[in-house]
Copies of this chain bind each other. A is one copy, B any other.
Amino acid sequence: MLSFECDYNIGAHPLVLQKLIETNMCPQPGYGEDEYTASAKQKIKAACGREGLDVHFLAGGTQTNRIVIDSMLHPVQGVIAATTGHVAAHEAGAIEASGHKVLCVPGHDGKVQADEVEALIKAFYKDASYTHMVFPGMLYISHPTEYGTLYTKAELTALSEVCRAYKIPLFVDGARLGYGLMSKQTDVTLGDLCDLCDVFYIGGTKVGALCGEAVVFTHSNTPAHFFTFIKQNGALLAKGRLIGAQFDALFTDDLYFKLGQNAIEMAEELKSICAAKGYKTYLDSPTNQQFFVLENDKCAELSKHVRFSEWERPDEQHTVIRLATSWGTTRQDLAALAEVL
């Protein structure tokens, strides 16, 4: 059975695993005070190329979204997100469980538009009874989005300007950031994220690690008591080295970017293969998630040979499926897929 259902279906990149093996028996302090974590933080800062960065490590995406958002919002504030945003739709109410409403704006292939974000904020303050309502307190976007799409630097800049005008932080969920940064169609760099947003995270779980996300506060703006807040939320690993060592490997010799690049190249090839076989693209994704519209019986047939995600049903006869490449996808995998298709 071929496996294209997601980008977290195998373990860690061999060099990441190698780092865990090498460092395994060396005694280190717990809770992220180890030397690998310190080294990883330095390398991430260097890769960003900006001053004033604070880096923290957490284990997974929902955990990171919940902790970052809750730590930065006042209890009466909510977070603005696309209706299709991960925090709005697929985190089991983690944001609400921490007390905050998700304020939805339309998603356009997964992206939010600066004018619609601004309209929401303006409408809020124009409402005579706004003090009886949830304050827009942050903007959350994912980059790449849940649909594999990317913001241009101009779009990010426009969103950043809206956020700064209304003094709310801009938070970028980079669960798949490596695939976004290496897309052939992007003009957004790590440095741009540092300049334009207030906090973002560099996803590890989906880009070569067993677990782990690197949260970057961009202007020495780590919330007060953030370490203790992580502990209180059950998110502090006794062996913080587990994540530190992995990110140390990921940010050695540009491994993180090379992993991103592999997924992008494999995705380009996957697109070609599917196009050649007459598969219809559902939307044009420049990253590692590719969406196709299939007739239902073809979808059923395919599922006998390939694992993929069923995304949605545009009508009774068709299914949108997602095929994802990753850092670990190989040309052999694609050759086998071409065979099956």
Report chain B residues within 8 Å CB of A62.
231, 234, 236
Interface flags for A48-80 (1: CB within 8 Å of B; 0: not) read 000000000001111111110010001111100
Question: Is A317 among interface residues, defined by CB-CB distance under 8 A?
Answer: no
Report chain B residues within 8 Å CB of A129.
90
The listed residue (B61, B101, B210, B328) touching A96 by CB distance below 8 A is: B101
- How many monomers of this chain does the complex have? 4
The listed residue (B101, B231, B241) touching A132 by CB distance below 8 A is: B231
> Contact at A128–B11, with CB atoms within 8 Å?
no
A10-66 with Cβ < 8 A to chain B: 10-12, 14, 17, 20-21, 23-31, 59-66
Question: Is A140 among interface residues, defined by CB-CB distance under 8 A?
Answer: no
Q: How far is the CA of A229 from the CA of B21 in the complex (A)?
A: 33
Question: Is A143 among interface residues, defined by CB-CB distance under 8 A?
Answer: no
Q: How far is the CA of A16 from the CA of B229 in the complex (A)?
A: 30
> Contact at B90–A96, with CB atoms within 8 Å?
no
Q: Which residues of A contact B (CB under 8 A)?
A: 3, 5-6, 8-12, 14, 17, 20-21, 23-31, 59-67, 70, 74-78, 89-94, 96-97, 99-102, 128-129, 131-135, 205-206, 210-211, 224-225, 227-229, 231-239, 241-242, 307, 309-310, 328
